[in-house]
Chains A and B, each alone.
Chain A
Amino acid sequence: MAHHNEDEGSIGTSMHGVTAREQVFSFSVQGEDDGPSSHTVGFDDPTAKFALPVDSEHRATAFKPFSFAKPHMRAFHLGWISFFTCFISTFAAAPLVPIIRDNLDLTKSDIGNAGVASVSGAIFSRLAMGAVCDLLGARYGTAFLLMLSAPTVFSMSFVSDAGGYLSVRFMIGFCLATFVSCQYWTSVMFNGKIIGLVNGCAGGWGDMGGGVTQLLMPMVFHVIKLAGATPFTAWRIAFFIPGFLQVIMGILVLTLGQDLPDGNLSTLQKRGEVSKDKFTKVFWYAVLNYRTYVLFLLYGFSMGIEMTINNVISEYFFDRFQLELHTAGMIAASFGMANFFARPLGGYASDISARFFGMRGRLWTLWILQTSGGIFCVWLGRATSLPIAILSMMLFSVGVQAACGAIFGIVPFVSRRSLGLISGLTGAGGNFGSGLTQLIFFSSSKFHAADGLSLMGIMGMIFTLLVAFIHFPQWGSMFFGPTSDEKKSKEEHYYAAEWTEEEKRQGLHEGSLKFAENSRSERGRKAASDGSSPSTPPENGNPAHV
């Protein structure tokens, strides 16, 4: 970066606004080389132009959810709302299935297959999204997804059979990659000490879209019917609402947002300020790490199950308990809306357990949360009365969503070099799990939906046992302590192993070493008694909730 001053902007030191002569910056922040307008009074302290306190990389060190100040908080809000909008679009069909299935003469298999298709597209788009954001910046990454998938949402008006329905749901599903662009954007805007909370909120609040859509779409449908349309036309018109939301958000992201704290990517790249690692290396180290695959599967049975429920729960309540469409929608919505607090709660629980028991605490927390989610899912399937079904569903939602938050308490420690790709892969695992569970349990007439739910819960609990296989030589695993080998039990050894000798000689692994030192807190209480290491939480405590 051009400026290397080490001023950690703590709250109260920002001089922004004090002299009333600070320049108001529009979208592209001009550098020191440009015209007289950028020579402001507070120029000696470049951090003065930010509304929030920032660190040396101009990442915000404070999180103020009620603020819309540019660039940090604005990026946060634009990011999570874009992701939220895409969740609305992807699951918009679910609460309307009782109407759509009559209009298009769908069978249970048709409905199930379309549900699988709706989450499958994002497996690939999430994997590609990291690279896209590197190339185009977070703004265009997000805007491309929003505005290029809006036509697919509008095209629901053309659908006339099962095949068309499946294709459109498949194409809409690609926009779930906004998840990656959202966390990418917050990761460049917020300092590692708070990134856990920031990403937990962004992830959780975005996921809420899957709940809100269950309320929104039946309501919109009802209003359109009142305006005079027949049901088989009204549901098609209802799809225009998520479509509009996507286009509006896309325009807002492009006009109000900024890629990086110092400006937009195209401007900064031309100045040579942004450097990247080699993709082949990043990919190689992600693929070689067995923990990547374990996390892929684990997330498939927390986020994956959550997405499956978003697709099936409204229809389930409608059919099983003979409810009105909007009543079923309301109940289904409360499942997704629990994300507002459940996911950040999971991340927080992971952080607390790490304070006492280190990484082993995080692993146990994950296992407990995800298994209890599975137990309550089984109970939901067994429930024959409405109040018990709702109670078990709420407990199930908290368990499974907190597990999502807890998984991302662990992901950042699996790799430093390939963090972005592993986060993306874990996210893709969620979609894979959702497609798999919908295919097995909800696409054929072999099981009643109720049995499908119970069996899915059991399958989830079995796969959650895989947590026991995540072992870190420096910290241990659920059942084993850290290795006794003198060399291998150092964090530096684990993270430096991702760089070749040549790269180490060039000093490219410095960032990993710094991270390793900060990650010593994952030893739990022992780290505090260990004198030689800092007892403060690591620099990147709990990043990248995907």
Chain B
Amino acid sequence: MAIHKIILASFIVYLMIQFSHGATKERLFSDLEKDALDVTAKPSRQGVLDAGIDKLSITWKLRSTAKKQANFTTIKVKLCYAPVSQVDRPWRKTENELFKDKTCPHKIITRAYNKSSQSFKYTLDRDIPTGTYFVRTYAVDAKDHEVAFGQSTSEAKPTKLFSVQAISGRHKSLDIASVCFSVFSVLALLVFFVNEKRKAKLEQSK
């Protein structure tokens, strides 16, 4: 019984820690400085881009109107879902609390902060899903907390978005293997079945 009491007590203590921990997690997106950086994302070609093949030319530069640049240590560049790709997909939802926000799950690059204009040529990863996207850069301080951001689209009316078509993930070799094993399965069953029926008939005729 003593062990039960210990387990229960430690559990309660852990819960207390969790509850208090939760109170400090509320860093909000709305607290970040808006449009601190000028971001452009230029697709390598027109039309729908192919994941794994096409590239984006991303550039970012500090805007003269930015206020908090003294705190910037690192710049994190991320690929984000446009609202149209978030419909009926609650796992991509935009939330104000930063730790809950799922708008920008795909990391592009992380670089130390530099006052001058930066650029990066990003080849779309092969695990990028089909959808419509824009690019956002977060300016992060030494404590790894976001302080400001900039994005390649405007907030009110989303413009300059680009579409990506994911890879299918299918391969001919996989398809062939699948057919082979399926045929084997059905054939093996039939062979056993016919064999046993034949054996039973032979036995009956004895």
Q: Report which A residues bind B (CB closer than 8 A).
A: 28, 34, 98, 101-103, 105, 107-109, 140, 143-144, 147-148, 150-151, 154-155, 157-158, 160, 230-233, 235-237, 240, 243-244, 246-247, 250-251, 254, 264, 266-267, 270, 315, 319, 322, 384-388, 391, 445, 448-449
With A107-B87, A236-B169 already in contact, 8 other A-B pairs whose C-beta atoms are closer than 8 Å: A102-B129, A144-B189, A147-B185, A158-B178, A233-B170, A250-B189, A385-B15, A387-B15
Residue in A154, A250, A387 whose beta carbon sits within 8 Å of that of B178 in the complex? A154
CB distance from B124 to the nearest CB of A (A): 12
CB distance from B37 to the nearest CB of A (A): 26
CB distance from B7 to the nearest CB of A (A): 11
Chain A residues, Cβ within 8 Å of B203:
267, 270
- Is B197's CB under 8 angstroms from A151's CB? no
Distance between Cα atoms of A157 and B19 in the complex (Å): 44
Distance between Cα atoms of A140 and B177 in the complex (Å): 26
CB distance from A238 to the nearest CB of B (A): 11
CB distance from A461 to the nearest CB of B (A): 26
CB distance from A94 to the nearest CB of B (A): 14
Chain A residues, Cβ within 8 Å of B181:
150-151, 154, 240, 243-244, 247
One of B69-77, B88-96, B135-143 at the interface: B88-96
CB-CB under 8 A for A270 and B200, given A103-B166, A247-B184 = yes
Chain A residues, Cβ within 8 Å of B188:
147, 247, 250-251
- Is A385's CB under 8 angstroms from B22's CB? yes
A-B contact pairs, 7 of them (CB 8 A): A105-B130, A107-B88, A147-B188, A151-B183, A230-B169, A231-B169, A270-B203
B120 close to chain A: CB less than 8 A: no
Interface of A is mostly: helix
Chain A residues, Cβ within 8 Å of B177:
154, 157, 240
Chain A residues, Cβ within 8 Å of B189:
143-144, 147-148, 250, 254
CB distance from B29 to the nearest CB of A (A): 16
Closest residue of B by beta carbon distance from A448: B90
- Is A266's CB under 8 angstroms from B200's CB? yes
In chain B, positions 177-206 with a C-beta closer than 8 Å to chain A are 177-179, 181-186, 188-189, 192-193, 196-197, 199-200, 203-204, 206
CB distance from A6 to the nearest CB of B (A): 29
- Is A385's CB under 8 angstroms from B19's CB? yes
Chain A residues, Cβ within 8 Å of B206:
34
Residue in A151, A322, A385, A386 whose beta carbon sits within 8 Å of that of B185 in the complex? A151
Chain B residues, Cβ within 8 Å of A155:
178, 182
CB-CB under 8 A for A102 and B178, given A151-B185, A230-B127 = no
- Is B88's CB under 8 angstroms from A108's CB? yes
Distance between Cα atoms of A525 and B33 in the complex (Å): 76
Contact with A along B119-155 (1 / 0, CB 8 A): 0000000110111000000000000000000000000
Closest residue of A by beta carbon distance from B192: A254
Closest residue of B by beta carbon distance from A33: B206
CB distance from A470 to the nearest CB of B (A): 36
CB-CB under 8 A for A232 and B169, given A105-B130, A154-B182 = yes
- Is A147's CB under 8 angstroms from B186's CB? yes
Residue in B14, B89, B174, B196 whose beta carbon sits within 8 Å of that of A264 in the complex? B196
Closest residue of A by beta carbon distance from B105: A102
Distance between Cα atoms of A102 and B22 in the complex (Å): 30
Distance between Cα atoms of A148 and B89 in the complex (Å): 34
Distance between Cα atoms of A386 and B22 in the complex (Å): 11
- Is A109's CB under 8 angstroms from B88's CB? yes
Distance between Cα atoms of A414 and B18 in the complex (Å): 49
Distance between Cα atoms of A157 and B177 in the complex (Å): 9
Residue in B130, B131, B174 whose beta carbon sits within 8 Å of that of A157 in the complex? B174
Q: Which are the 3 A-B pairs with shortest beta-carbon distances?
A: A232-B169, A151-B182, A102-B129
- Is A445's CB under 8 angstroms from B90's CB? yes
Closest residue of B by beta carbon distance from A234: B169
Distance between Cα atoms of A255 and B108 in the complex (Å): 55
B24 close to chain A: CB less than 8 A: no
CB-CB under 8 A for A103 and B129, given A109-B88, A143-B189 = yes
Chain A residues, Cβ within 8 Å of B126:
230-232
- Is A151's CB under 8 angstroms from B186's CB? yes
Chain B residues, Cβ within 8 Å of A244:
181
Chain B residues, Cβ within 8 Å of A246:
185
Distance between Cα atoms of A86 and B25 in the complex (Å): 43
Chain A residues, Cβ within 8 Å of B14:
387
- Is B178's CB under 8 angstroms from A157's CB? yes
Distance between Cα atoms of A386 and B196 in the complex (Å): 55
Chain B residues, Cβ within 8 Å of A270:
200, 203-204
Residue in B88, B167, B174, B200 whose beta carbon sits within 8 Å of that of A230 in the complex? B167
Chain A residues, Cβ within 8 Å of B90:
108, 319, 445, 448-449
Distance between Cα atoms of A391 and B171 in the complex (Å): 42
Residue in B174, B197, B200 whose beta carbon sits within 8 Å of that of A233 in the complex? B174
CB distance from A328 to the nearest CB of B (A): 12
- Is B199's CB under 8 angstroms from A102's CB? no
Distance between Cα atoms of A143 and B189 in the complex (Å): 7
Distance between Cα atoms of A67 and B193 in the complex (Å): 28
Distance between Cα atoms of A34 and B203 in the complex (Å): 10
CB-CB under 8 A for A231 and B175, given A98-B91, A154-B181 = no
Closest residue of B by beta carbon distance from A235: B169
CB-CB under 8 A for A108 and B127, given A250-B189, A266-B197 = no
- Is B168's CB under 8 angstroms from A160's CB? yes
- Is B200's CB under 8 angstroms from A267's CB? yes
Distance between Cα atoms of A140 and B193 in the complex (Å): 8
- Is B196's CB under 8 angstroms from A387's CB? no
- Is B186's CB under 8 angstroms from A266's CB? no
CB distance from A85 to the nearest CB of B (A): 13
- Is A232's CB under 8 angstroms from B184's CB? no
Chain B residues, Cβ within 8 Å of A154:
177-179, 181-182
- Is B175's CB under 8 angstroms from A157's CB? yes
Distance between Cα atoms of A158 and B171 in the complex (Å): 9
Chain A residues, Cβ within 8 Å of B200:
264, 266-267, 270
Distance between Cα atoms of A375 and B30 in the complex (Å): 38
Distance between Cα atoms of A153 and B174 in the complex (Å): 13
CB-CB under 8 A for A28 and B199, given A103-B169, A158-B175 = yes
Distance between Cα atoms of A67 and B89 in the complex (Å): 50
